[in-house]
Amino acid sequence: MSERPPRADPAVPPQLTPAGGPAADLAVEPGEAPPLDTAPTPPGTAPNLLDSLPPGPIPPAAAFSAAQAEPCLAVRDLAVSFRTRGGTVKALEQVGFTVGRGEIVALVGESGSGKSVTAYALMGILDAAGEVTAGTAQFGGTDLLHAPERTLRGIRGRDISMIFQNPRTALNPIRPVGKQIADVLIRHGGAGRREAPAAAIEMLRRVRITDPERRARAYPYEMSGGMCQRVMIAIALACRPKLLIADEPTTGIDVTTQAVIMDLLTGLARESGVSALVITHDLALASEYCDRVVVMHAGHVVEDAPVRDLFAHPRHPYTARLLAATPTGHASLADLASIPGSLPDLRRPDLPACRYIGRCDRALDSCQVSLQRREIAPSHLVACNNPL
């Protein structure tokens, strides 16, 4: 995996980043890759993912407890099933986590672990075959899982915004991007039709799109993938939501542009005080940009911890395997460890209590019938009968 360019200093607002830094890179036209000024890692070495974290001591648990005292979002015991011809798929079971006010949380796991389904359930946009069968998701006094559609319409786009995996398919292909931003401002932001176009251009400027007046008249097919993702960020943040959900925001984008997009997304979120749930399979990305990591496997949350704690001391066997299988720097194939087995068939009526049991070398007989969820250290939760 290629190295990412260095991050901007989190203490420097994006608009004040010195020339030549990540914010300057945001103005590069599509197709022009800014130079990487990171030193190459010596061949054959596999640097620890902790190297990508900002310097400094691990934040005290009290700081994380304070952020969770009145969380922006609190999910408890979420369960989702899908009806299929082959049987009922138990996609999520007893999923629980919180997103603190102003906190950026990564929801990570391999493909099929239930990350996107979690986001769709929270937004009330599950496929027709999907059904929330249990749980609550408290957001500002509203249970998102049981609120009527009319209530959700008032929340989506205004209080909660979502960035989808593929910006080209999420954007309207036959409407200029400036008008799409203006539509959101009029519908959810209370803007008038006269001032909305100018406000849309200002949002394009905020996401560092060059010549925003001209770009506002462009259609999605006339823009690069990275540029379309910036438009999606502009739409998502246009009404200053309380919570932003980003579903794989760097999918299909080259590594250099991934760093630009994440610097932009997290920088604007922190600047505006927006809480964010970032769904990704990229642990390096999570370590670099997020405050806390929630790890999912086969529809279960298996570990939840502050980012430095989790990367320094993973306590669930799956998390440890996932970290060992993550390429870093110029690591060779010999440095990487694979995760044995595969995800279980979630249609099975006799699913074990721990869905990782078939892949785990620390499994106990009790893992078949019960699963302990405990706080193994301050602000560090793990669902495992035999943690590391």
Query: What pLDDT is stored for residue 171 in this prediction?
Result: 96
Residue 15 pLDDT: 32
Mean of pLDDT values over 162-185: 95
How sure is the predictor about 59, in pLDDT bands with cuts at 50, 70 and 90?
A: very low
Q: What is the pTM of this model?
A: 0.82
**Residue 51 pLDDT:** 53
- At 380, the amino acid letter reads H
* Model pLDDT, residue 56: 44
pLDDT of residue 33: 35
Regarding predicted confidence, which is higher, 181 or 34? 181
Residue 292 pLDDT grade (very low, low, confident, very high; cuts 50, 70, 90):
very high
Surface-to-core class of residue 176, CB atoms within 10 Å of its CB (0-12 exposed, 13-18 middle, 19+ buried): middle
Query: What SS3 class is residue 19?
Result: coil
Task: Please answer whether residues 306 and 58 qualify as being in contact, where contact means their C-beta atoms are separated by less than 8 angstroms.
Answer: yes
Least confident of 8-12, 188-192, 237-241, 245-249: 8-12
Task: Give the mean pLDDT of the chain.
Answer: 85
Helices and strands counted in the chain (H then E): 13, 12
DSSP character string of 110-178: STTSSHHHHHHHHHT---TTEEEEEEEEEETTEETTTS-HHHHHHHBTTTEEEE-S-HHHHS-TTS-HH
pLDDT of residue 52 exceeding 80, the answer is: no
pLDDT tens digits, residue range 197-214? 999 999 999 999 999 999
303 bridge partner residues: 295, 382
How far apart CA 67 and CA 72 sit, in angstroms, is 9
Q: Report the percentage of the chain scoring pLDDT > 90.
A: 73
User: Which CATH architecture describes the domain 45-151+243-261+268-383?
Assistant: 3-Layer(aba) Sandwich (3.40)
**CA–CA separation, 150 and 154 (whole Å):** 7
